[in-house]
Amino acid sequence: MPRAILASFANRVSPPNLSLMQDEEWSVARVRIELLSGLTVALALVPEAVAFAFVAGVHPLVGLYAAFLVGLITALIGGRPGMISGATGALAVVMVALVAQHGVEYLFATVVLMGILQVVTGALRWGKFIRLVPHPVMLGFVNGLAIVIFLAQLGQFKVPGSMESTGHGMTGGDWLTGAPLVLMLGLVALTMAVIWLMPRITRAIPAPLAGIAVVAALVLALGLDVPRVGDMASIEGGLPPFHLPGVPLTFETLRIILPYAVILAAIGLIESLLTLNLVGEITGKRGGASQECIAQGVANTVTGFFGGMGGCAMIGQSMINVKSGGRTRLAGVAAALFLLAFILWAAPLIEQIPLAALVGVMFMVVIGTFAWNSLTILRRVPLTDAFVIVLVTVVTVMEDLAVAVVVGVIVSALAYAWNNARRIHAETGVDSTGARVYRIRGPLFFGSTEGFAELFDPAGDPARVVVDFAESRVVDQSALQAIEALALKYERAGKQVQLRHLSRDCHRLLTRAGHLVVDSDDDPDYALAVDYSVRTGILGAH
């Protein structure tokens, strides 16, 4: 067999993103880029994991272990290579009340249950419903998250050690002033400048890693007194120990942890799936939603048994990885392993990294994440879409991501339903037999049934009426009920009504008006959303 045919066959059977035998895919340069990208992400994960552990009111290692385990497992089996997962603020703000009231052991049990719920969601393939999130909601999501990331960095501009742990996270603290503030701002600006300039000089080293290295070297060489990673907390520790959550296996325990588990599972999946879509738009890859749900679930279940606080996809670190060139699973695995190495062996070195360098990296993430074009399109898109973009952004900042997305989807759905409800209308005429013909235009569903009823005049119409649905579509049970009610009105007025061009499903599901349907070879063929429900008696008789 010719070599070209063999090569073609090998390419076809090679699994996507896992073929280590394709030289063009896995060159030395590619491996180097993936490893350096993973190192950059690991450095950015440290202060985030520590800060989110403080927010949740748990030990910093609980956050670091979560970043390692969740990051490693999702990198190996997640729905999209290039994504980075770990401990996140969106989950931490929900966990803090549980930890304050019941203790950290209940948190571990909740994380296990959270993971199980996410696995079930993935197994049922419910991840596909992320397609229902409209683009304006996505824009509001990225804008709101960019603002949240920016606001989270402001805590690094406070005097180390001045914040207090209250059981509701780290609060208070004195802001840097004078020379320390100027120095901090200068180092942040230097980091951002290096990140901006580096791609114009060389792409051999990820720009964020170069920014961290340059600023860290400058601080260490000059002995500058600036806040460092070690000022937040020590990150030194051992391997995550296996640990069964110390909670009683009772119904009372389930009653406590189930509400938190459901909320955390929903928030984690929403943020992960939206990040999956965002990374997919950048890398040009699609799919993997249900696989990502399962991966997040497995990761959280395992993390709960190893003393971690759980986590989900992190848009900031994912953007760092993608912008640094990370495109495969190797980058995510490397990030998790580098983070573990920091905990086990390199803690004294990592703790010397100035926070200003990491803040500069995150500020560049904010600039790259925020959808700046949304500011210009607000005046061009429909008013409802502009409102949804702003609404989701505000709710993301004021509340949390899950609430913002749910609110955005509901508002978008209501706006869509309202716009379609206003589309229903009819063209009327008289045929050769003298019958009045109503040619219905627009979808007939719960939102348009009232407008549909107002189109007709049973008292003033002639003895014979024809209602033609060729240019309409009957969508739900409310539409069927509206047709039944219309037929009843004409029946009571002693007039004959015929229904034309209804689908076979409508024929079967209509009860009183079923005998009024006129069969035709060009009847439409579509399924109603209520087909199964009506057949099984869920909706009851009309």
Question: Rounded to an integer, what distance in angstroms lies between the CA atom of residue 498 and that of residue 264?
Answer: 54
165: three-class secondary structure by DSSP: strand
pLDDT of residue 155: 85
Q: Which of 120, 81, 56 is nearest to 308 (CA)?
A: 56
Q: What is the mean pLDDT of residues 189-200?
A: 95
Q: Which residues pair with 440 in a beta bridge?
A: 426
Which of 435-449, 476-490, 509-523 is the least confident region?
509-523
The residue type found at 441 is R
pLDDT of residue 203: 85
pLDDT of residue 532: 39
pLDDT of residue 24: 39
Does residue 314 surpass a pLDDT of 90?
yes
Domains defined along the chain, listed by start: 27-162+174-376 (no CATH), 422-535 (3.30.750.24)
Does residue 520 surpass a pLDDT of 80?
no
**Helix%, strand%, coil% for the chain, nearest 5:** 60, 10, 30
Does residue 329 surpass a pLDDT of 90?
yes
C-alpha triplet 345, 332, 134: angle, nearest 5° = 140
382: three-class secondary structure by DSSP: coil
pLDDT of residue 463: 92
Q: What is the mean pLDDT of residues 131-141?
A: 90
More confident residue, 128 or 304: 304
Question: Rounded to an integer, what distance in angstroms lies between the CA atom of residue 352 and that of residue 230?
Answer: 6
Q: What is the DSSP letter of 205?
A: S
Question: Rounded to an integer, what distance in angstroms lies between the CA atom of residue 261 and that of residue 209?
Answer: 36
Cβ within 8 Å of residue 528, ≥6 positions away: 474, 475, 476, 477, 480, 503, 505, 506, 509
pLDDT of residue 283: 79
Does residue 170 surpass a pLDDT of 80?
no
Question: Rounded to an integer, what distance in angstroms lies between the CA atom of residue 333 and that of residue 17?
Answer: 14
- The two beta strands, 436-444 and 464-474, are parallel
pLDDT of residue 18: 39
DSSP string, 319-357: HHHHHTT--SHHHHHHHHHHHHHIIIIIHHHHTTSBHHH
| 204: its two tokens | 């051999």
Question: Rounded to an integer, what distance in angstroms lies between the CA atom of residue 342 and that of residue 44?
Answer: 12
Q: Which of 279, 362, 375 is nearest to 327 (CA)?
A: 279
Question: Rounded to an integer, what distance in angstroms lies between the CA atom of residue 479 and that of residue 440?
Answer: 13
Cβ within 8 Å of residue 321, ≥6 positions away: 37, 38, 40, 41, 82, 83, 84, 331, 332, 335
In the structure, what pLDDT confidence band is assigned to residue 540 with cuts at 50, 70 and 90?
very low
Q: Which of 165, 447, 127, 384 is nearest to 274 (CA)?
A: 127
Q: Which of 296, 287, 245, 294 is nearest to 267 (CA)?
A: 296
In the structure, what pLDDT confidence band is assigned to residue 58 with cuts at 50, 70 and 90?
very high
Does residue 86 surpass a pLDDT of 90?
yes
| 105: its two tokens | 């052991």
* CA separation, residue 536 to residues 81, 202, 507, 540, 542 (Å): 43, 65, 16, 9, 14
pLDDT of residue 252: 96
Phi and psi dihedrals of 268, rounded to 5? -60, -40
Does residue 6 surpass a pLDDT of 70?
no
Q: What average pLDDT does the chain have? A: 87
176: alpha, beta or left? (left if phi > 0; alpha if psi -120 to 50): beta
Does residue 232 surpass a pLDDT of 90?
no
* CA separation, residue 40 to residues 182, 191, 211, 301 (Å): 26, 13, 10, 27
Cβ of 494: how many Cβ atoms within 10 Å? Answer: 8
Q: What is the mean pLDDT of residues 354-378?
A: 92
Does residue 342 surpass a pLDDT of 60?
yes
pLDDT of residue 172: 58
Question: Rounded to an integer, what distance in angstroms lies between the CA atom of residue 118 and that of residue 113?
Answer: 9
In the structure, what pLDDT confidence band is assigned to residue 161 with cuts at 50, 70 and 90?
low
Most confident of 65-74, 138-147, 273-282: 65-74
Q: Is 139 exposed, middle or buried (0-12, 13-18, 19+ CB in 10 A)?
A: buried
Cβ within 8 Å of residue 12, ≥6 positions away: none
Query: Contact at 8 Å (CB) between 320 and 204?
Result: no
The residue type found at 538 is I
In the structure, what pLDDT confidence band is assigned to residue 2 with cuts at 50, 70 and 90?
very low
Query: Contact at 8 Å (CB) between 70 and 109?
Result: no
pLDDT of residue 280: 85
Question: Rounded to an integer, what distance in angstroms lies between the CA atom of residue 506 and that of residue 509?
Answer: 5
pLDDT of residue 523: 74
| 454: its two tokens | 């107002």
Question: Rounded to an integer, what distance in angstroms lies between the CA atom of residue 470 and that of residue 191?
Answer: 64
Query: Contact at 8 Å (CB) between 88 and 63?
Result: no
In the structure, what pLDDT confidence band is assigned to residue 408 with cuts at 50, 70 and 90?
very high
Q: What is the mean pLDDT of residues 74-95?
A: 92
Q: Which of 333, 312, 342 is nearest to 87 (CA)?
A: 312
